[in-house]
Structure 1
């Protein structure tokens, strides 16, 4: 690892902020035969996403020990396409409506524990709700016997930036989940095979094409990957949305009025355009992850006037793409109106990645964020007691608000 890569690893956000105004939108992280570039220029991103199926996706060296070598996150070719064909349909479009009752119920159960005067650690609170929801969708139930050790393991690996870096660079990689947890997840996945609608685990275990039979080791890799990706990013975006609303009473009143007029708890995005814009802007300023998946060139390529050899790795920077001044005026300012009545192209705005690796659960994530936010605004008045803690912290590649961020419930509305 050279000094540039080390600087980015040790001081990721300051490193990126210092380069946000570079007009070329590309930066060499590593030179030589294993060249690696950070990329955020819109034309380069458009080319990557358009050419995605011709590229390789080597994945993350730091996360590979965590999620396993057979994780769908770095599956290639037909295997990757097979997972998307199996898991994609229930996670998009009208089929998402089967999850609305589940999201509403689990959010209500969490809100029922709060009363006037309650102090809420916002990031961990939203993380608990999102994990319970996605575990029910993947496994069939939110079993605390599995979720508590899962949370403990993820926090051990990613909860402290210093500890994460120590694992990565001094201990040979992030810690794998305990064998006891793996067995519990696989057992729970198999125990709910007759649920209606079918769980995502049941779809993977059907034995049908295009996946065919998968063994317990491959199933474990998919379960921990889906549980993490399906809750960590959603929880962070939910926390950021609620944080920004808590800081602007006028905006909160407008969103409440919109939700009351819509009357569906935030289910239909087209009926709550202001709330959707608030969420989009929260995702722009603090995207769920700072970078999209690595792509490796399979042939010599010219990109933005640079001659790049086969084997060069391109890392799309979501964080920097969202801070380009020629894409977003005054890019560090929170301004939901920039999304009202406007549609951003995927090379400018890519909170869920793009190309063939676009996040499978993006539609579910947005539905959850809308519904959780709608339920909070209907049930509570609360205030942020330490707004200066509304700063990003990295959990692996994910970007969450500081764990210190606190909300105090001032009134229960119903």
Structure 2
């Protein structure tokens, strides 16, 4: 049985278009097939849905028609035991072990650290000198990852990991080098100077450092530590079993890959929209100014316009344009199309976020749309949905909001030019093509809940 609305372009051409211009590829396809289409863009023939009714069927799975499958695209990065690679009971077990470290009261303990790291990075920027917002976001996010997740604050191992993680992420910045994620036959170790060979060696060095840290923590447990690694070392499942070292390693890589670059990208887009659409940025600042110099980070996190602003940032250019695949366990009719057992089905996050019937004038950045109505999890899904909803969502949003709140309320920035910033492929995710080029022009100083500009 043929797949619905099959894209006829040869597979290698589709992959090339996706790697070089994912937004352009999806928009062209979406114009032809607004609700459902089939493509081999990830190297395998799959059905992509962008209609909320089909996404609801996919995520809620009322009759167990769909089964989650491992995300092979990221296996080369996170290993065999990261959450995206697990299914069934193994997935549920790992998710239950990870959940307490990334939600609830743990967020409160991370707030001051995130704000302090943001101040530290911003204070090092010279006045009136160009920088890219994404580089700033990457630096903040990486330090949050090292301190909040890995529990490393200083020292030789901290610096080695910081440098190596930068080297590991660097190839993913290039569409050419990151193509190995979509084309497994390129994953060939041809020596230390080959792209894959270099990546493998950097990953091995990171592994050695992480396993050494895990061994030391197991030998000298500290119940007062609140970092994610320490909490994972203490966590036990229903049978009282602890996580194995390799499971902890792969979950750390999952959080690193899923949280570092994507959060940095969201921060960069947030700074872009706050200045490209200055009235939106001013509304954020006004809300923060009226809130005052509070250290109640949970209340800052819940501010309505800041929340709407971040939601719109994640809507218009989500870091992940597609969701985790599901496979049919039985024949299903979806949007009037009959699909056979074994068919891979994914939701197209970007196309759903740009439906005119859900988001009028979808290319316009307008946070107010999230104050005017509430969108269902099948209409707004920047973190995926169902059992595969990103487990790091709460931490990522908490970090993004506090970083943007700190920068926008305390610093004066401006874009270097007025040229629109567009997304580009960065491995399995996307990011601003030019990084969002800006300059720091001064600092806003709090004075009785108002802010005066200083240089």
Cα deviation, residue 361, structure 1: 1.4
Which region of structure 1 is more displaced relative to structure 2, 288-297 or 92-101? 92-101
Counterparts of residues 258-277 of structure 1 (less than 5 Å):
258-263=287-292, 264=294, 267-268=298-299, 272-277=303-308
Structure 2 partner of 1:362: 393
* Deviation per residue, 1:177-222 (Å, 9 max, x gap): 5322111122234445426343322333336224834443333222
Out of 173, 187, 200, which is 2:228 matched to? Answer: 200
Cα deviation, residue 246, structure 1: 1.4
Q: 1:88 aligns to what SS in structure 2?
A: helix
Q: 1:105 aligns to what SS in structure 2?
A: helix
Q: Aligned Cα RMSD in Å?
A: 2.5
Equivalent residues of 2:76, 2:181 under 8 A apart? no
Structure 2: gaps of 5 or more residues: 1-6, 189-195, 446-455
* Deviation per residue, 1:83-114 (Å, 9 max, x gap): 21111123224442121111111111112212
Equivalent residues of 1:384, 1:408 under 8 A apart? yes
Structure 2 partner of 1:234: 263
Looking at structure 2, the residues matched to 274 and 4 of structure 1 have their Cα atoms a distance apart, in angstroms, of 45
Structure 2 partner of 1:101: 112
Cα deviation, residue 3, structure 1: 3.7
Whether 2:388 is the aligned partner of 1:380: answer no
Structure 1: gaps of 5 or more residues: none
Looking at structure 2, the residues matched to 404 and 365 of structure 1 have their Cα atoms a distance apart, in angstroms, of 19
* Deviation per residue, 1:122-178 (Å, 9 max, x gap): 11210111121122222112422102101211212x110012125753523764453
Equivalent residues of 1:387, 1:405 under 8 A apart? no
Whether 2:67 is the aligned partner of 1:76: answer no
* Deviation per residue, 1:16-62 (Å, 9 max, x gap): 0112335651111259xx85201111111000110186633323333
* Deviation per residue, 1:206-240 (Å, 9 max, x gap): 36224834443333222211111121111111110
Whether 2:144 is the aligned partner of 1:133: answer yes
Out of 66, 71, 74, which is 1:63 matched to? Answer: 74
Q: 1:287 aligns to what SS in structure 2?
A: coil
Structure 2 partner of 1:346: 377
TM-score, normalised to structure 1, is 0.91
Looking at structure 2, the residues matched to 302 and 3 of structure 1 have their Cα atoms a distance apart, in angstroms, of 25
Whether 2:117 is the aligned partner of 1:92: answer no
Distance 1:271 1:385, change over 3 A: same
Equivalent residues of 2:301, 2:401 under 8 A apart? no
User: How many pairs align?
Assistant: 411
Cα deviation, residue 269, structure 1: 5.3
Looking at structure 1, the residues matched to 422 and 230 of structure 2 have their Cα atoms a distance apart, in angstroms, of 39
Structure 2 partner of 1:182: 207
Structure 1 partner of 2:160: 145
Which region of structure 1 is more displaced relative to structure 2, 142-151 or 208-217? 208-217
Out of 361, 364, 389, which is 1:330 matched to? Answer: 361
* Deviation per residue, 1:250-293 (Å, 9 max, x gap): 33222111102123366425752122111111101111211111
Distance 1:269 1:319, change over 3 A: farther
Out of 160, 165, 170, which is 2:174 matched to? Answer: 160
Distance 1:374 1:45, change over 3 A: same
Looking at structure 1, the residues matched to 298 and 10 of structure 2 have their Cα atoms a distance apart, in angstroms, of 44
* Deviation per residue, 1:55-79 (Å, 9 max, x gap): 3332333321222122222211111
Equivalent residues of 2:135, 2:435 under 8 A apart? no
Cα deviation, residue 320, structure 1: 0.8
Out of 6, 9, 34, which is 2:15 matched to? Answer: 9
Structure 1 partner of 2:282: 253
Structure with the greater alpha carbon radius of gyration: 2
